[in-house]
Amino acid sequence: MNQLEQLKKFTTVVADTGDFQSIQAYTPRDATTNPSLILKAVQKEEYKPLLEKAVRDNLDSSTSEVIDHLLIAFGKQILRVIPGRVSTEIDAGLSFNTNASVAKGRELIRLYEKAGIERERVLIKMASTWEGIRAAEILEKEGIHCNMTLLFSLAQAIACAEAGAQLISPFVGRIYDWYKKSTGIDYVGGEDPGVQSVKRIYNYYRKFGYKTEVMGASFRNVGQILELAGCDLLTISPDLLQKLAESDAPVERKLSAESGAGAGIGKISLDEPTFRFMMNEDAMATEKTAEGIRAFCADTGKLKQIISGMR
């Protein structure tokens, strides 16, 4: 078996792309999208018809509403080629507005259900801010499941689990980027701070019985992926999926419920002041969360400009 096939024995593989044609080649169970991936996809000739149809069918709607319909169009196409769930992200500009995030999550699910897609096949993605986590808590109680993204710290992970979020996406590669820039060290294997962060979160969840799924995300290389073999899910870009498929080197399971249960971790009591203080003390998590929100807002703005130019 190649490495991708071996990895699938331990971990649910998720495709991290809006390119649903490339998804078919690697047979992942789930798929994730974000504003940057959708922006990249709609600039390809093969996906322009989806954008054109979303604009044409919603001429009297705002650009934000057109984007909602475009997200649903991509989600529907992706769900035709995977057996599991698709993650669809709300506007990052809502990251500090709980009520607006809840309303947007409800609206996206309404559009999916109107299109004949049951809510069990959709995860609403939102940033792991305190306000985003509170929105997820409300949506989960309504049967709208959430994927908490832009997650860089144990504080965020604990808050998400206590809110009952379905899934979290800790960003391995972006944590690695920050520490590499800060220290000048090119971390490899188990020394990688991004890998260590996900292992810590996974073990904390297993030790204290949280049901929230852990999905490592934002990988820079195959080594980071292999160090997290056994994680609940891993969302992987097409180029790294291809590298895994081209290698026959052995894959060893690194994470398991048993290893997590025996981890020497103390339980943290987390309320809003504690969450905000822990984030304040973690420069990497604070900076990368803010940077990620800004980047997703910028790409959403570029997408709005494209749509405005078509009307």
Among 170, 93, 167, 105, which Cα is nearest to 135's? 105
Which tokens sit at 42? 């709609």
How far apart are alpha carbons 51 and 213 in whole angstroms? 32
Contact 40, 20 (CB under 8 A): no
Q: How far is 108 from 89, CA to CA, in rounded Å?
A: 9
Dist CA 145 CA 138 (whole Å): 10
Give how far the C-alpha of residue 162 lies from the chain's centroid of Cα atoms, to the nearest Å. Answer: 18
Radius of gyration of the chain from Cα atoms?
A: 19
**Among 104, 125, 207, 254, the one annotated catalytic:** 125
Nearest to 241 by CA among 50, 7, 66, 39: 7
Cα 228 to Cα 7: distance, rounded to the nearest angstrom: 10
- Integer angstrom CA distances of residue 111 from 39, 115, 141, 155, 230: 20, 6, 19, 33, 34
Residues 6+ apart with CB under 8 A from 208: 267
Active site residue 125: yes
Token duo for residue 307: 């749509």
170: β partners: 151
Backbone φ, ψ for residue 146 (5° rounding): -125, 145
CA distance 234 to 228: 8
**Spatial distance between the Cα atoms of 244 and 26, rounded to a whole number of angstroms:** 10
- Which residues are tagged catalytic? 125
